[in-house]
Chain A
Amino acid sequence: MPLAHPVPNPLPSADEASAGPLSRRKFLTYVVAAPVLTVAASSTGTLIAPGKAYAVVPSPPQPENILDLGDVMVAATKQAQDLLVLEVTTDNRVVFRMPRAEVGQGITTALAMVVADEIDARLADVDVPLEDARQDLGTAQSTGGSSSVRSLWDPVRSIAAEARARLVTAAAKRWDLPASSLTTRDTTVRAPDGRTATYGSLTEAAAKVDQPAVPTDPKPSSEYRVIGTSTARIDARSIVTGAAKYALDVNVPDALPTVVARPPTINGKVKTYDAAAALKMPGVVAITKLPSGIAVTAKTFDQALKAKSAVQVTWAAGTVDGVSDADIDARLTAAIPPMTPAPPLTQRVDATFEFAFVNHAPMEVGSAVADVQSGSAEVWVASKSPTGAQSAVADATKLSVDEVTLHVVRGGGSFGRRLYHEPAVEAALVSQAIKQPVKLMWTRNDDMRHGRVRPRSHHQLRAVHARGDVLSYEHRMACVELDLGSGTGQALVDAGYINPTIGAAFFNLSQSCPYNFGPVTESLNEVSYDMPTAAWRSVYSAQARTAEEILVDEIAKGLGTDPVAMRRKFLKTGEARAVLDKVAAAGNWGRTMSSKTAQGVALHAEYRSIAACLVEIDCRSDKPRVTKAVMALDVGRQVNPSGLRAQAMGSLIDGISTVLLAGNHLDDGAFREGSYSDFKYARQADAPLVCDVHLVGGTGKPGGVGELCVPAAAGAVANAYARATGSKPRKFPINF
């Protein structure tokens, strides 16, 4: 029977909330009227009003050093931390509702570890379900900018420590012992006399605790038992047994398979269509016209796919018909401003780089399940911006946002793609039109030809040097406009940036040169095309910092210096040198290698973390292969070393793929590639036989890691290729 509960420190009233975070109490605690302990807040430290602190981009040249995108997400999450929910159930489960998407990056495991350590629970007793879309969380529910662990670290430790203190207090009352005499471990409170009580047995009493009788501060790092210990994914068993459920595996009764006939070119529209033949085909239930094409709903996906081919559609032109890569290249070249002339008596190193469009190509295609009824909608989708998806579904279906329930389900990869949610909107529209639940799937062709891409980009770089010193460094990037309107981009809008400048703001907040190269000028000009782009793992850095790391090798050549020695000399920080030194030593930098094989090295610092990568490449055939990789990371506090290594290895494969193999051609308004047969993302035979990841540093707070290693890996692969072949690679991927 539900009990009545005191609410010691309720959520701020509307008046308090509108007065801004500065007016909040320093210790903000809220226990909801639930039958068990449910801590929804514990804030320590002073909150900062974003409107005051974050509305202005700090002065160039390197604002990223002062404030980066992760800081924006940290601030957004901190403001919302009183809305995070941690529950202890009567059956002794500790449940943290994760306000993020799990798309393989391992954050459910990392946060389960943080909760387990801080509340003193067995890891196996911790559940981390993904939170439904909650408008009160807003962009604090976005997954992006490699910021999830970084931004949840403080708030989650705080609420777990608060919960632990209340459980201890409840046990002290039950046993009539001083709370300070009790200890906690393995989801259990222990008394000095040997008595024990599980958290589950205490949770109802703990929910009634007015004021914890022991400190609610998170424990010191010296007491960590779980944080910092390599831990296998908490969902690993469900994955290897096939039990893990992705959107199309969720059992929504009677949800009907649905696919969409899409135009031959990007953003083409339906002019006329004839579905008579398709409607007569076996199993076909309905045909629905959507803004994006003609949806076919049937009893099986096989029937839907066959009927899709039978729908006769005439298409109006798309939004980039007539545009091919060469046309874009001409505009990108024109968008790069003139470089600053080198002063007399100096030498310069110039380089121009081009990077192709790259599809995100997550293994799980765009998918969503929707059940829209009169006055309500329920949607299941792997969304990295669930509140954005919820709003988009509400807009499309003419429902109010609070009539839309949006469940975030695990995603089969993202790499930026699931910041956008077209499948959720399409599924909702079809369900609303046919008054039945549907499960809508994009085909791989749909994902390749109508999904989003990393924008094609050009880079002009110039370093001026004299007498062994680099005097100035200039990098002018131009790319197809990046759509940042969701997730982290929205967080920037919320933080006061104005829409047309979001790309430039994002660029400024993500780019910094880790070297002492004198005055540094880095700028971005975007060229607008009406085509679907999206942030792709590490966003502008994937190209910009890769280009920069290639230039560093070319400067080294100009100076007659070894690439590692060159970097050691010019790196700004000892921490970065330590990371570089680690790969150089562990990777046996400079060892003698056969002709057409070589080592390459690169470094990247972002997200308050540093990564270096050393690879060995074999270019003796026309199919270059990275044979070995050694990586080193300093990510500050290491929550799950195993997960960190996985992120590094995955980024390495991204580096190999985007530098050597995988990209997308735009031909007359349509992408040429249609599947993994021609989008040549790396496979086992392209991966190194050896990949060692070393973790260095390890103190302080966690930095970001999800995207960290992509530029270091890509730069190392390109530099190794250049050294092995004696060439200067300029266009990526090289085998395109």
Chain B
Amino acid sequence: MPTYAFTLNGKKVTVDAPADMPLLWVLRDLLGVTGPKYGCGVGVCRACTCHVNGKAVQVCTLTAAEVVGKKVTTIEGLAPEGGLHPVQQAWLDEDVAQCGFCQPGQIMQATALLNSNRNPSDTDIDQIMNVCRCGTYCRIRKAIKRAASTM
């Protein structure tokens, strides 16, 4: 099996995986990183959203081969161990989560948005396609705006 090396949450990792193995399963089944969730497997629910070189991507539709040499960040690596990223803190302050299953993906998506746009408009926030079946959207919007004011 081919070997792929990339940076995961600040540490270099090497995995033996089939070339077409989705990064979601590389992370969950080979590396034991369970923050990214399976919700659809086809990139539409976005519960698996992570960062590759700072950009939000759906790791269920990306392969290990495609991230060789790149920096992969999951929800576990968003903030230093024991700390919280301002977006995570905003999520706590707005008490956003309900079941929580989509929230790692929502937070990674929101963080990527804020990294590229420090003051997103409602129209910008509307572009977020991550599904939240509990319907936390209004609090997500407030948390993004709160984070924007603190970052």
Contact = CB atoms under 8 A, between A and B. Distances in A.
A240 B92 contact: yes
Chain B interface residue bracket vs A: 35 or more
Interface stretch (A330-338, A480-488, A676-684): A676-684
Interface in A629-670: 642, 646, 649-654
B18 A233 contact: no
Contacts of B35: 241-243
Contacts of A89: none
A653 B137 contact: yes
B30 interface: yes
A638 B118 CA distance: 37
Contacts of A305: 41
Interface in A234-266: 235-246, 248-249, 251, 257
Contacts, number: 185
Interface in A283-312: 299-302, 305
B129 A683 contact: yes
Nearest to A693: B138
Contacts of B18: 282, 302
Given A363-B101, A415-B133, A682-B135, A242 B91 contact: no
Interface residues of A, number: 64
B137 A683 contact: yes
A364 interface: yes
A443 B134 contact: no
For B37, B75, B107, B137, the residue with the greatest tally of chain A CB atoms inside 10 Å of its CB is B137
A412 interface: yes
A677 B37 contact: no
B128 A688 contact: no
Interface in B118-137: 122, 125-137
Contacts of A239: 91, 97, 100, 103-104
A242 B75 contact: yes
A691 B96 CA distance: 13
Contact of A103 (B42, B76, B99, B140): B99
A689 interface: yes
A261 to B, nearest CB: 15
For A232, A257, A684, the residue with the greatest tally of chain B CB atoms inside 10 Å of its CB is A684
Interface in A343-376: 361-365
B84 interface: yes
Contact of B92 (A106, A232, A248, A302): A232
B30 A676 contact: no
A413 interface: yes
Contacts of A105: 98
A232 B95 contact: yes
B38 interface: yes
B68 interface: no
Interface of B: 18, 21-22, 25, 28-30, 32, 34-42, 44-45, 47, 74-76, 79, 84, 88, 91-93, 95, 97-104, 107, 122, 125-141
22 contacts: A104-B97, A104-B99, A237-B84, A240-B91, A240-B107, A242-B104, A246-B37, A248-B38, A251-B32, A301-B38, A302-B21, A363-B99, A412-B101, A413-B101, A415-B133, A444-B39, A444-B42, A652-B135, A654-B135, A675-B40, A676-B40, A682-B137
